[in-house]
């Protein structure tokens, strides 16, 4: 494996859209409705990635293995009104199934946290599906803890429970 982490650019949008759908279809199997996962289309994700990267709403990184995108992470200012002033939010961290468990998630998280420290961010939050045991264990190993806030992730046909995790940097 020849791994390289770099900032994502709008030119990555097509590969990110395709990877995003692939990751969700395996990572959220059994957590989100099968119909919803089957309905996901890379071209819709490509549009969203193109817009978010071009507008600067999302700061993202990709992990490449010999030039192929295999993982990504993105962060932004928190969208939560009750978060501490200046808090940042981890919007996503996704790794292709065949690369899971090889340290890419941790490497991306370290990259995001280094970015936040450069910006002077002291507190970060993220949202995770309550029943996503694998993701929760990953985040908790890295010092993220539930802060008591809950919500729902709404997709066609379901409202899936979520909880917010918080970390002091």
Q: Is the pLDDT of residue 2 over 80?
A: no
Tell me, what's the pLDDT at 73? 98
pLDDT at res. 84 = 84
Nearest in space to 45 (alpha carbons), one of 99, 87, 111, 92: 92
How far from each other are the two terminal CA atoms of the chain, in whole angstroms? 30
Among candidate residues 66, 71, 90, the one with its CA nearest the CA of residue 79: 90
Determine what percent of the chain is predicted with pLDDT higher than 70: 99
Q: Rounded to an integer, what distance in angstroms lies between the CA atom of residue 153 and that of residue 159?
A: 5
Confidence band of 56 (pLDDT split at 50, 70, 90): confident
Q: What is the mean pLDDT of residues 46-70?
A: 92
Report the range out of 46-50, 140-144, 153-157 with the highest average pLDDT.
140-144
Average pLDDT of the chain is: 94
What is the mean predicted confidence (pLDDT) over 33-45? 94
* Span 53-77, average pLDDT: 94
Q: What is the pLDDT of residue 1?
A: 56
Query: What is the homologous superfamily of the domain 3-168 according to CATH?
Result: Gcn5-related N-acetyltransferase (GNAT) (3.40.630.30)
Distance, C-alpha 73 to centroid of its chain: 5
Coil/strand/helix, residue 145: strand
Quick check: pTM over 0.85? yes
Q: What is the pLDDT of residues 118-149, one digit of tens each?
A: 999 999 999 999 999 999 999 999 999 999 99
List the beta strands (DSSP E) in the chain.
Answer: 3-7, 59-65, 68-77, 88-95, 123-129, 145-155, 158-168
The Cα 60–Cα 13 span in angstroms is 11
| Joined tokens for residue 109 | 């998280």
The residue among 46, 68, 32 whose CA lies nearest residue 153 is: 32
Q: What phi and psi, each to the nearest 5 degrees, are found at residue 25?
A: -65, -30
Q: Which residues pair with 160 in a beta bridge?
A: 153
pLDDT in tens, 68-80: 999 999 999 999 9
Where along the chain do its domains lie?
3-168
Residue 85's pLDDT is 86
Given a cut of 80, whether residue 14 has pLDDT beyond it is yes
Q: What is the pLDDT of residue 16?
A: 96
């Amino acid at each position: 494996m020849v791994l390289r982490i770099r900032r994502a650019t709008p030119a990555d949008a097509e590969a990110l859209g395709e990877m995003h759908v692939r990751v969700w279809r395996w990572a959220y199997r059994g957590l989100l409705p099968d119909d919803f996962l089957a309905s996901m289309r890379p071209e819709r994700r490509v549009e969203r990635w193109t817009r978010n990267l071009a507008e600067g709403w999302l700061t993202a990184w990709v992990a490449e293995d010999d030039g192929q995108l295999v993982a990504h992470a993105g962060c932004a200012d928190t969208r939560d009104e009750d978060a501490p002033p200046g808090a940042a939010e981890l919007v996503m961290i996704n790794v292709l199934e065949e690369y899971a468990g090889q340290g890419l998630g941790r490497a991306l998280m370290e990259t995001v946290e280094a970015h936040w420290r450069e910006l002077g961010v002291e507190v970060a939050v993220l949202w995770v599906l309550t029943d996503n045991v694998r993701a929760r264990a990953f985040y908790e190993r890295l010092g993220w803890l539930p802060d008591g806030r809950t919500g729902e992730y709404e997709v066609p046909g379901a409202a899936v429970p979520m909880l917010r995790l918080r970390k002091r940097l």
